[in-house]
Amino acid sequence: MSVCWVYILCSKRNGCLYVGVTSDLARRIYEHKQKLIEGFSKKYGTDKLVYAEQFNDVREAICREKRIKKWNRIWKLKLIEEQNPEWKDLYEIIL
């Protein structure tokens, strides 16, 4: 059993959002910040970690990620603000 994370990145407060899943949160956020991977996050500058949720089962994490991706924007914003009302970049905390 390995730890997995569902996370949300933003470009700025109330800006563009990216929802992802990973087994190595610190490495993955570093990749986003350094723009090492082509795709949505690099294109739209979503590199601030504003939400993270830990899972012990990869299947549960993937289901949660897919569920959140289908949510409307208001629900995603509410989820972020419940855990991180100041929209601080949580990357330094996870290191």
Q: Which amino acid is at 38?
A: E
pLDDT in tens, 14-73: 999 999 999 999 999 999 999 998 999 999 999 999 999 999 999 999 999 999 999 999
The answer to whether the pTM exceeds 0.75 is yes
Q: The CATH number of the domain where 20 resides is what?
A: 3.40.1440.10
Residue 61 belongs to domain spanning:
4-94
Q: Tell me the two tokens of residue 72.
A: 């409307």
* DSSP code at position 35: T
- In sequence order, the β-bridge partners of residue 4 are 55
pLDDT per position as a tens digit, 72-95: 999 999 999 999 999 999 999 987
Which value, to the nearest 10 degrees, does the dihedral of the CA atoms of residues 68, 70, 72, 77 take?
Answer: 20
Identify which of 60, 67, 51 has the alpha carbon closest to the alpha carbon of residue 4. Answer: 60
State the Cα–Cα distance between residues 61 and 42, nearest whole angstrom. 23
> For the chain, how many structural domains are there in total?
1
